[in-house]
Chains A and B, each alone.
Chain A
Amino acid sequence: MAEPERGREQHGGGQRVPTVIVDELHVVYRVNGAKGGKGSATAALNRILRRGGDAARGVRRVHAVKGVSFVAYRGEAIGLIGTNGSGKSTLLKAIAGLLPVENGRIYTDGQPSLLGVNAALMNDLTGERNVYLGGLAMGMSREEIKARYQEIVDFSGINEKGDFISLPMRTYSSGMAARLRFSIAAAKKHDVLMIDEALATGDRKFQKRSEERIRELRKEAGTVFLVSHNNKSIRDTCNRVLWLERGELRMDGPTDEVLKEYEKFTGR
């Protein structure tokens, strides 16, 4: 596992500036009542009455990330690959400070952000109010949102087929809603940007537009992380790849090398 030594976009005269340092990271989920497979009343009682460790109380522990370490540098675009459930999204969330860390440390430059705003939006509100709500939730100011409002609406293309932005989001088709969500999320600039399989939304036309927007965001951001199952989009955007398998870092290196091994592993 060679340390990737590529001289790409290095800032500060060859000196590589770290933006994210992950040191022996462990993330553990706890799931209530997963033991026995049927959250029965007696199992629940057992859980309350029995003191001691999680195992004794029937709380299942899911060890999602097991001792991952790496250093990300400014100007890198890092792809995260691995089969389903290998801990990619969990790793991103932990770096963003959204999941509590069980063990180990994560150091970051500024506040890394996940590209995504879905959870803050409300289906019962109009598209317009959701643009504001989503922007505010991402930490933009009212003035910033007002200044970018038209740009966001135009980018989403919601108003191409009539004045939909003033209708509640629940009246949108799933594609329209996804486009608006992406447009809101992509409106903000980030130091460390993390994208979780956000590329495949909307119709072909919108996909092209959003890929372009992500490339723009990449240029503005210091470091980009991209989770995707699409090896092509990883190859197009990333210069370094981390391969996670069962929560462990299996390989870390230049995109071509890692993808070749990964494709061998998955039999493609």
Chain B
Amino acid sequence: MSETTHDGGVALGKAPSSDEGLTARQLAEKYGLSVSGARPSLPEYVRQLWRRRHFILAFSQAKLTAQYSQARLGQLWQVVTPLLNAAVYYFIFGVILQADRGLAQDTYVPFLVTGVFVFTFTQTSVMSGVRAISGNLGLVRALHFPRASLPISFALQQLQQLLVSMVVLFGVVLAFGSRPGPAWLLIVPALVLQFLFNTGLALIMARMGARTPDLAQLMPFVTRTWMYASGVMFSIDGMLAGRPEWFIRLLQYNPAAVYMDLMRFALIDGYGSSHLPPHVWAAALGWAVVFFVGGFVYFWKAEERYGRG
């Protein structure tokens, strides 16, 4: 908040009340009034948020529907966009740079497509998180609701987007020889954990973006660096073989790489556990819990300050 004090104007019409002699605070106490715009306690905040669950869901679905409603192909773009992305990366990395080292030929395409889809999920959650508050100031200044509804809603929108594109992903994986098995069930916990992680990250970015909207200009570079370092289009252990162990582990344990690898492991027959670092599920759970809880508390701490111009 601010350190300045004001000697500003003096109110002329300071009205004495019928409860004469009471200060404003005493009067408020006497009639059970509460401070407007004060931050609720954390449990109370969670309760308020839960009461708004229908709004959160409806808002995310509305955003999703509105997103492509002007385009001729409409909702088809939800699937086509990530697919085109994957095609570009395949052309550059698969064909030109031959970055498929350490992977069989028919593993590389599903490997790449899974990576692109899963990473896009996190990337778009970050980007929409940055703008969740700063891009919706009108809403924040017009209506009263727990502000965390916005970043959570945006993360949820991205999850629904991913679920739609999963259909394409299944198609690609099947086309390259993998067959559905019990391992596919691992998709569910992997997605849940990644969603928690993304939501936490979106909450953090939302608070930072509310204070510094400039982050929206900066984040594409950060996420792009993150993407190239996480092995979206190459296998970390295959590509970096011979580099120091700690360096490989560092890249492998970064949350984006963890969630991508879990999804690939679940979906692709030719992508075995030898590609995964040890205790990868523990890492996935750890990232999810730390970021979700930490992000939530971090966001809540500034609840009463969102909306300042």
Contact = CB atoms under 8 A, between A and B. Distances in A.
Interface of A: 1, 3-4, 15-24, 26, 28-31, 53-54, 63, 66-71, 93-103, 105-109, 111-114, 116-120, 122-125, 129, 132-133, 136-139, 141-142, 168, 242, 246-253
Contacts of B145: 137, 139
Contacts of A122: 62-63, 66
Contacts of B3: 53
B54 A102 contact: no
B95 interface: no
A118 B9 CA distance: 33
Interface stretch (B20-28, B155-163, B246-254, B259-267): B20-28
Interface of B: 1-6, 8-18, 24-25, 27-28, 31-38, 51-52, 54-55, 58-59, 62-63, 65-66, 69-70, 136, 138-145, 304-305, 307-309
A125 B24 CA distance: 45
Contacts of A249: 11-14
B47 to A, nearest CB: 13
B62 A133 contact: yes
A132 B58 contact: yes
Contact of B25 (A17, A63, A105): A105
B186 to A, nearest CB: 34
List the 7 shortest-distance A-B pairs measured between CB atoms, nearest first. A97-B37, A252-B13, A23-B24, A107-B28, A66-B8, A124-B66, A107-B33
Nearest to A64: B309
Contact of A120 (B11, B13, B143, B304): B143
Contacts of B18: 15-16
B146 to A, nearest CB: 10
Contacts of B136: 119
Contact of A70 (B8, B15, B52): B15
A99 B66 CA distance: 28
Given A106-B36, A139-B52, A67 B13 contact: no
Contacts of A139: 51-52, 55, 144-145
Contacts of B5: 103
